[in-house]
């Protein structure tokens, strides 16, 4: 799969499509829609790209922007994370994120991928997959992802408004890590990208 930080490289909204405006309430939404409209990088199948006007997002909600405490796990072992194909993704638990959403405490594991560590520009990339109570209803049943970077401090900002679907939602040729059941949030995260309607 391609991670979202790779989407940002070389992406220019002004030249992505001069004929129609790029839809989106936030910069993140506009960037993602611009990438999906660009046939050279879009994960969409040709038939879906032809009809594509924009992804469906929840309205931006500042309550889903939270500061999390990061407890690093430097001695965690590498393991093989299953994907939607036969490919195996080598990952390790980089740390445990503790935070509150709407007054309730939650924890999620954040992962570091071996492939990204060896990719220029992605060495400090962290992968936050999660499940929540919107899955299978207003969002994709298999969960969503948030991209993070390794912070200098022991806190990290999580913006669930930037939660996006695995690429295999749009095209089964992509190999996407399966969200671990342990990364389940007992709450409706009504932020980020909604389920894809073909």
Per residue of the chain (198 residues), give pLDDT as tens: 444 444 333 433 434 444 566 667 899 999 999 999 999 999 999 999 999 999 999 999 999 999 999 999 999 999 999 999 999 999 999 999 999 999 999 999 999 999 998 899 999 999 999 999 999 999 999 999 999 999 999 999 999 999 999 999 999 999 999 999 999 999 999 999 999 987
Same domain? 71 vs 165:
yes
Same domain? 95 vs 160:
yes
Same domain? 82 vs 156:
yes
Same domain? 70 vs 16:
no
β 88-101/65-72 pair status = antiparallel
Same domain? 77 vs 124:
yes
* 184: in domain: no
Tokens representing residue 74 in the block: 């430097």
DSSP state of 136: T
| CA–CA dist 107, 48 (Å, integer) | 36
pLDDT of residue 25: 83
pLDDT of residue 4: 43
Determine the structural domain holding residue 66 and report its residue range.
62-169
* pTM assigned to the model: 0.87
CA 115 from chain centre, in angstroms, equals 17
| CA–CA dist 34, 11 (Å, integer) | 8
Same domain? 22 vs 101:
no
Same domain? 22 vs 72:
no
Same domain? 142 vs 104:
yes
Number of folded domains that form the chain: 2
* 197: in domain: no
DSSP alpha helix (H) spans, the chain: 4-8, 13-16, 27-37, 46-51, 114-117
């Amino acid at each position: 799969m391609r991670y979202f930080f790779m989407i940002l490289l070389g992406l220019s909204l002004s030249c992505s499509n001069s004929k129609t405006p790029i839809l989106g309430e936030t910069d993140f939404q506009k960037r993602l829609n611009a990438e999906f409209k660009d046939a050279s990088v879009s994960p969409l199948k040709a038939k879906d790209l032809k009809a594509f006007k924009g992804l469906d997002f929840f309205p931006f909600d500042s309550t889903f922007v939270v500061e999390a405490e990061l407890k690093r796990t430097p001695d965690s072992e590498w393991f093989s994370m299953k994907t939607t194909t036969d490919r195996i993704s080598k990952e390790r638990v980089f740390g445990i994120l503790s935070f509150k959403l709407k007054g309730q405490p939650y924890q999620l594991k954040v992962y570091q991928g071996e492939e990204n560590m060896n990719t220029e520009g992605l060495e400090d990339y962290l992968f936050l997959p999660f499940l929540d109570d919107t899955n299978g209803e207003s969002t994709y049943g298999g969960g969503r992802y948030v991209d993070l970077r390794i912070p200098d401090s022991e806190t990290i900002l999580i913006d669930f408004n930037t939660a996006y679907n695995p690429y295999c939602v749009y095209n089964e040729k992509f190999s996407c890590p399966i969200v671990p059941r342990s990364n389940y949030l007992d709450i409706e995260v009504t932020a980020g990208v909604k389920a894809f309607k073909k």
